Amino acid sequence: MLKIVPDEPALILETPSDKTLIISDLHLGFEKALSSKGINIPSQTQKILDKLKSIIEKFSPDRIIILGDVKHGTLKIVPQEWFDVPRFFYKIKDLVKSVEIIRGNHDGGLKALLPRGIKIHPSRGTSISDGKETYALMHGHAWPYPNLFNCDVLIMGHNHLIIEFREHGFRMVEPVWVMARWDREKVAKSFLKYSGLKINDDPIASFKDAFGFSIGNPKIIIMPNFNPLLGGNAINVNDATLLGPLLCSRCIKLDESKIYLLDGSYLGHLSNLIS
């Protein structure tokens, strides 16, 4: 069973064997990037840690899975991360039985920063089953493994999506949950092209011929970022900035997606919210 943590950018996934807390996009060390632009604020790592500890204390998960972008530096480790990242993980690893990370596009060199015992999954994702449904977990900057296309629920981060409200010259933004479906034919065609495989008149049949199973029709959940300092990409504007192959290839039917605020307020379909 999957449920959203009220007022937090986090999910709880309960299976018969354990309870998993899922979060995404910590971007520890982001403040250092701001300082290079003349914006000087103290490290926010402790605040992020406190928020995570509060959720852990309330829900008592057995493990934590982070959907990528643990750190902010991309290909290299920046000096602030040598302090912030190990400190963060040494403090949370003793609060749960296990900590797992799906590698994001900002996680270059991450392994060198982590305590022993923390598992890193490839960027193409992993899956969990609760006996009834299969949940695919990924960051979102890379295509998932082929077997994840047959999941019941696909959960991803990466995009830092927000909703933008404008009224009488004022602008307000809020992080949002996006619940969507994909176009099975577009997904099959785009992934087969990416994989360099043959595409016949029926892309869905071509996918099944190539991999031995059909593409599913999962519920797709795009998570808000756990670090509130990041801001985000407004989804309800024309020509919204979309990241990752599933979104850039227009495989996900965003116009039909349902948009929710962190407190659970349902805002409607995206097609009715475009400003």
Reported as a pLDDT band with limits 50, 70 and 90, residue 168 is low
Query: For residues 148 and 208, what is the distance between their CA atoms, to the nearest angstrom?
Result: 13
- The first and second tokens of residue 222, run together, are 């795009």
> Alpha carbon of 226 to those of 69, 96, 157, 271: distances in Å?
10, 18, 10, 26
Instruction: Please state whether beta strands 161-167 and 170-180 pair in parallel, antiparallel, or not at all (unpaired).
Output: antiparallel
User: Greater confidence, 39 or 274?
Assistant: 274
> Alpha carbon of 219 to those of 57, 148, 252, 258: distances in Å?
29, 12, 10, 11
Contact 259, 178 (CB under 8 A): yes
Phi-psi region of 84 (alpha: psi -120 to 50; beta: other; left: phi over 0): alpha
User: Greater confidence, 211 or 30?
Assistant: 211
Q: How far is CA 65 from the centre of its chain?
A: 11
Q: What is the mean pLDDT of residues 189-199?
A: 94
Q: Where are the domains of the chain?
A: 2-182+217-272
Q: What is the pLDDT of residue 36?
A: 62
pTM of the model: 0.93
213: Cβ contacts below 8 Å, ≥ 6 apart: 147, 150
| CATH number for the domain formed by residue range(s) 2-182+217-272 | 3.60.21.10
Q: What is the pLDDT of residues 102-156, one digit of tens each?
A: 999 988 889 999 999 999 999 999 999 988 899 999 999 999 999 999 999 999 9
Pick the closest to residue 260 from 2, 1, 9, 81 (CA basis).
9
